[in-house]
Structures are given as C-alpha cells and as structure tokens.
Chains A and B, each alone.
Chain A
Amino acid sequence: MTVLEAADVTFRYPDGTQALTEVSVGVERGEIVAVLGPSGAGKSTLFKCFAGLERPSGGAVTVEGVELGALHGKERRLAQHRIGLVFQEFHLVGRATVLSNVLVGRLATANPVTSLVHWMSRRDRTLAVELLTRVGLGDQVRKRADSLSGGQRQRVALARALSQRPELLLADEPVANLDPVLAAGVIDDIVRMVREEGLTAVLNLHDVSLARRVAQRIVGMREGRIVFDLPVEDVTDALLAGLYANEDVAANAAHREEVAA
C-alpha cells in the first residue's frame, strides 16, 4: 500500500525560482527511501512538500490518501501529527530538558488545558522516557538539550518525532551537521528505530555511502527533477557520477545561487 504519493509536483518560490518540476514518486508502507542529489537539487523543497510545510504550486502530495495542503485547523494538526520530522539543525528547545523536548511530540493528543502547565499523562511520559532509552539517552532525560552533543541532540529530535507515533518519518539532511563517524551512528539509529517501529521513512541525504548502506531505494534528484528512482542494488556508480557531475560548472553554480536565494 502506498503511504506517500507525489503526483506531478511542481514548486515555484514566490520569487519565481522553480525548485521542483513534475516530480512523481510513491513510497510503499515499510519502505526506507533515500533522496540523493547535489545541493540545490530540490531535496529540501520536496521534504517540505511531503511534510505539508509548503503547498505545491502544481500537482498533489497525499499521505495515506489525504492531501495535507487542503486540510485546515484540527484536521490538519492531526494529519501532521502522523508524520514525524527530523531536521538538519535539530530544532530543539535548547533551554528545556531532553524529556520536555520529546514530550512536545505528544502535545497534539494531550489535554489542551493541563498540558499548558506542562502536566502530561503518565502514559505520555513513559513513552517519552522509553524512546529516549532506546536511542541511548536514558540517563540524559533531565539534562538541558543544549548541554548535549550534536549526535545526542539529533537523537532527541528523533525521539520527539517517534513520540508522535507516526506512520511516516521524514528527515531532511539529518546528519549534515555531524562529523562522518557520528553521522553513521545517528543514521543507523534512525533506521533501526524506523524498522523496530515498522515505519515508512524518506531520508534526504547528500552522502552516497550512507544512502547505500541504509536505504532500500534511492531517488536521485538534480535541478528539481527526478533523474532515477531505483532499488539500491541497481544504483550504479555511473548513475551517481552523472547525478553529481558538473559538466557545466558555471550554469550549475548560477542555478545553486538561485535556489539558495
């Protein structure tokens, strides 16, 4: 069954920059898909469209048959609650404890009044501590998030996303801010947790070896289009070389600047 479906998704930023052109991709339940491509390929824009953070200019993104962009209010919040997100820069509340950062993932279904004074049910707290223990942060629960290392922070962010009990986990360059050794450890943890929870995952990566190691399928993107979409064993070095090739360095740099702007 298809969990995530993008049909002819086109995305244009308000300044006219075309970030995505007719991108179509489907992700089956339980699949782990890596999206690869050079900077400026449109991976982050695609992530935002998948997550419902941006609405495509053309085409449609559906998660379990529901178009997130068309929802409003409570329906939209509950739909968003079923998608866990992990960001490149962690996006944690630095001054809050590790535990309260993870509990943020439970707010959508918590009591709207008592949760305002940080009162969360025992079930929610147990789940948060259990997830933190499973990502190896069991003894850091009461520490401030900004006292942790980069790898630990991303694990807190992962636990926050998983505490939503999502169907789908989306990660946008989750290890781009970490050194290679830490990066491999964090990616392995993400994939292990995704498998244990039986989730579907789409990971934006720029590191080819990491993508090959953890993904079942690789989607190659370049200049806002999908170049290939293949099972990991069919992704050849030649295909990857083509993905990252700079046959026209100047045009590529100009394009990159456009997208960054």
Chain B
Amino acid sequence: MTATIDKKADGVSTDTPVAAPSRRDEIERLARLRRPSWGTVAGALAAIVVLGWSSSSSGFDGPALVEGLPHVGDFVSRMFPPNWEELPIAIELMIETLGIAITGTVFGTVLSIPLALLAARNVFPQPWIRNSARTFINVFRAIPELMWALMFVASVGLGAFAGTLAITLGTSVGMARLFADIFETADMRAWDAAAATGARKSQRVAWVLLPQQIPTMASYTLLVLDGNVRAASLLGLVGAGGIGMELNQQLRLFEYGSVMTIVLVVLVVIMSLDLISSTVRKRFV
C-alpha cells in the first residue's frame, strides 16, 4: 500500500511525500497528549498532601481501628434481639419525623420559588437583584440544618416545631439555589413569545416558566424530601423533635435492643421512601 503511494508521488506530484510524514508527526503529537500534564501531577500531589493532613487531624488511627473492631462487634451483638416493645413508640416518633420532613419540604419549596425567581438571570436581568438574591441564598445555605435547629430550640423551645422551622429554612435556601439554576436553563422562546403578546412577567412565570420546569422541580423536590427525612431523624439529638431524641435517650440507658428497633424503623422508612421517590422521579423525567 505504502509502496504504491510513494511510487505515485514520485511520478505525479511532489506534494504527497511531504504530506505523509507530516501526518505521522500529527499522530505522534496527538499520542503525546496521553502523558499527564504538569497540572495533573501537581494536583495529584496536592490531593495526597491534603489527605495526609486531614487523616492525621481527624485522629484516624489504623491500629486503634483494628483494636476497636471486637468492641464494635460486641456492641452490635448486644443490639440483638431487637426490643419489640419499643416498636409503637418508634413508629409514633417516626411519623412525627416524617411530619417534620414533609411540612418543612412543602413550606420550604413554596418559599424557595420567589427567591429562585429573583436569583434567575433570565427572569430578573438586573444584576443587582440577582446578585443580592444569590448572596442572601449563599449566606443562609452555609449554615447546616442542625445549627438552625439548635437556634430554633433556643428561640421557640424544645419540640417538633423547632425542627420543622429548621427544615423549612434549610430547604428554602437550598432549593432556591437549585431552582434558580433550573430556571436559568429554561428554553426562553415561549417566554419571549408570551412577552410579545403583552403578558406581564408574573403571568409569564405562571403560564410559561413554571409549566415548562415543574417536572424537573418536582424531581429535585422528591430528592430533597429524602434528604430531609434523614436530617429530621437527627434533629432530636438537639431536642428539635422526631425520632432522634428517643434514639439518644435509649443509647444513654444502654437499651441496645430498643436502639436496634429504632434503627430498623428508620431504615425501613428511608428505604421505602427512596424506592417510592425514585419510581416517581423516573416518571417525571
């Protein structure tokens, strides 16, 4: 094959012999791209350094882990058999936990929509509106839900209400960021057409933007609900209602059988919720 090309090149044109090696150069140049760049090497080294530093400062200790394993085994064995007398209390508190999570998710989602609209460039093109909304969202998002729960326990007292407020606040700022990004990826052609009919911005949100984006928004809301049930199970640790409070108490009383029952209830509820929400989300997208 090569011989034929060379022969032809000699006879007909002087271009081909020059073109062929240059193509080989090109291939070799592309092949060289497989070598890691300096940036990659430096990045890998930095990752190793960060991992070394963080594992030492987190007290991660290999021998201690090996030594501790029998204790972990002992702890787990004492959790059996589960104490089924605990079941009614665990179920009742899990219902409260679900209540906190669902109420917080619903109110949080409702509150997040206006905030998300303010933070979406294509709805409010004025940079000062978008930037102040984004700053507000980012500041509040930086505070974890458990911290909000602590603050609400201090202000409205112990119980589920404090937990619901914490979940609502956390959800509203978290979802606002998510929804703002969803709004910004919307196809704006129908929006522009609606604007050209003379429709107000609020009407365009209700008739064009939300109908277009609601499946995506609903899908994310279900995902966030999942996370909120997990978060609500822990709120009890700081006295903000739900099943966490009971878990903490039984641990302190060394009632490991009851602890097992509580863990099982949480496990079953979160797993079934996961299953339901992923089935429903598949139908949205």
Residues on A lying within 8 angstroms of B by beta carbon are 51-53, 77-81, 83-85, 87, 89, 91-96, 100, 103-105, 107-110, 112, 115-118, 157, 160-161, 164
Contacts and interface: CB of A to CB of B under 8 A. Distances in A.
B196 A85 contact: yes
B194 to A, nearest CB: 5
Contact of B211 (A89, A95, A108, A112): A95
Contacts of A87: 189, 193
Interface in B150-206: 189-190, 192-200, 202-203, 206
Interface string B204-215: 001110011011
A92 B197 CA distance: 13
B181 to A, nearest CB: 19
B198 A116 contact: no
Contacts of A52: 196
19 contacts: A52-B196, A53-B192, A80-B197, A83-B196, A85-B197, A91-B189, A93-B211, A96-B211, A96-B212, A100-B211, A104-B207, A107-B203, A108-B198, A110-B203, A116-B203, A116-B206, A117-B206, A160-B197, A161-B197
Contact of B197 (A108, A115, A116, A118): A108
Given A85-B197, A104-B199, A108-B199, 11 more contacts: A80-B198, A85-B196, A91-B190, A91-B193, A92-B193, A96-B207, A96-B212, A107-B207, A115-B206, A118-B206, A118-B207
Interface in B206-228: 206-208, 211-212, 214-215
Given A93-B211, A93-B212, A80 B203 contact: no
Contacts of A77: 198-200
A79 B195 CA distance: 12
A78 B197 contact: no
A85 to B, nearest CB: 5
B58 to A, nearest CB: 48
A78 to B, nearest CB: 6
A95 B198 contact: no
Nearest to A163: B197
Contacts of B193: 85, 87, 91-92, 104, 157, 160
A81 B202 contact: no
B194 A94 contact: no
Contacts of B195: 80
A112 B197 CA distance: 14
Contacts of B189: 87, 89, 91
Contact of B192 (A91, A100, A116, A117): A91
A80 B197 CA distance: 6
A87 B197 CA distance: 13
A96 B214 CA distance: 11
B204 to A, nearest CB: 8
The 7 closest A-B CB pairs, nearest first, are A108-B198, A81-B198, A91-B193, A107-B199, A77-B198, A91-B189, A80-B198
Contacts of B196: 51-53, 80, 83, 85
Contacts of A51: 196
A105 B196 CA distance: 9
B12 to A, nearest CB: 30
Nearest to B208: A93
B210 to A, nearest CB: 10
A168 to B, nearest CB: 12
B200 A112 contact: yes
B283 to A, nearest CB: 14
Question: Which residue, of A51, A104, A160, A161, has the highest number of chain B Cβ atoms within 10 A?
Answer: A104
A107 B211 contact: no
Contacts of B199: 77, 104, 107-108
Nearest to B187: A94
A5 to B, nearest CB: 20
A104 B208 contact: yes
B231 to A, nearest CB: 31
A93 B200 CA distance: 16
B212 A107 contact: no
A78 B200 CA distance: 10
Given A77-B198, A164-B197, A112 B190 contact: no
A107 B203 CA distance: 7
A104 B206 contact: no
Contacts of A92: 190, 193
Nearest to A80: B198
Nearest to B196: A85
A52 B194 CA distance: 14
A96 B210 CA distance: 10
